[in-house]
A and B are shown apart, each in its own frame.
Chain A
Amino acid sequence: MRHTLVALVEDKPGVLNRVASLFRRRAFNIESLTVGHTERPGVSRMTIVIDSDQTSAHRVTAHLYTLVNVIQVDDLAEKPAVNRDLALVKVRAEGDSRARLLRVVDETRAHIVDTSATTVTLEITGEPEHLDLVIGRLQPFGVVEMVRTGLVAMARGDVAMRPPNGGYSNHAAVPLD
């Protein structure tokens, strides 16, 4: 199952390395990892997507807490969340395929961000599944170059990630498997 772990970390040199190294050392495969600023100065936010069972997701969360620079970790697989991925796709667009491409762009809510005589560059934002779908429809035109940013995510509703004060939510209290 796919787990989206969100980690608030101190914005300091080497912290990305510490987190990435932990995943490597504990033999967890990272599907995507993004880092960015947050509403608080000095605090960065990492979104890490891994494919693992529940037990392993708990394990890696606990290991993340052993890192001194990691402030808080949340597993968004356990709650409703907004997930967003962004892709830039440069697609071949010559002759009459250009018109067909523009129809696909229209239908899929993609944005044209650049054009040339032979190509069109599109920006697609949305749930990762939406991106998969759109990219699938672009494939027949000929994808020249493509990049995805990796997932960013945020829980829905009025909850927000805040450093816990005091107690640790007991692992065994959370059902395993």
Chain B
Amino acid sequence: MRRYAAIVRNMFLESLNFRADFIFMVLGNLVGVFLAYYLWRAVYAGSGGTLHGLGFLQAFAYVAVSGCIFTMIETWAEWDLAMSISRGDIVLRLHLPLDLHLTTLVESLGIFLTRLVFTGVPFLLLIIFAFGVPVAAGINLIFFTVSLFFSFLISFNIDFIVGVTAFSFESVLGLKLIKDAVILFLSGAVIPLAFFPEALRPVLMVLPFQAMYYTPVNLLLGEKSIPESVLMLLIQAGWIAAFMTAGRLFHRKILGKLTVSGG
């Protein structure tokens, strides 16, 4: 474990070097939060307070917190992986006496942690204190933290699978953007699930994507009872197990197929 921890540490240190990236990410988030605020205020104008059972602050909170989660769990792992396969840099990871899937995971974890500390937490504070989103200071915070980490694990494994399949396509970036757009939409991160047509909602609830955004946001806002919250976490854990297994299968399959370019 210490071996992988050392990689997390270095990846954390290394991503601290991209200060300009952070500044732009923070600015981007800031713009996003303001846009969401004014957009949803316009949507709610003249609505008499609630739409589809959600108040304005709730709807805004869903979208703003989801955006914030996206910037944390979106570590470009699929891009890094596809690029390192197509450029052949993947050999450098294969030379280490480590598991490729786990190594990629902990590298991604290092980036996730930097994002959490330097953009995630400040933005959550901003949303809560500047915009007045009601978040209780109780067990919901612990549920949220666990759930956020779970979301990262699901997201990483999807990225891993996309990354190892994407390198054979000419457009890794295109595939990545489509994947992000689909996940954000179907998970209720762009438009709260409550706003989706009645018929569609049960379908979305059995898809894995809601577990990545809807679950942590719900747990943060603390609208569910403790047993309900625990159940949501368990469902999320179930999705992690499924995606971890799929990631392992792809990992096994790809190792024999790698041709490792260059040299």
Q: A and B: partners?
A: no
Q: A residues touching B (Cβ–Cβ < 8 Å)? A: none
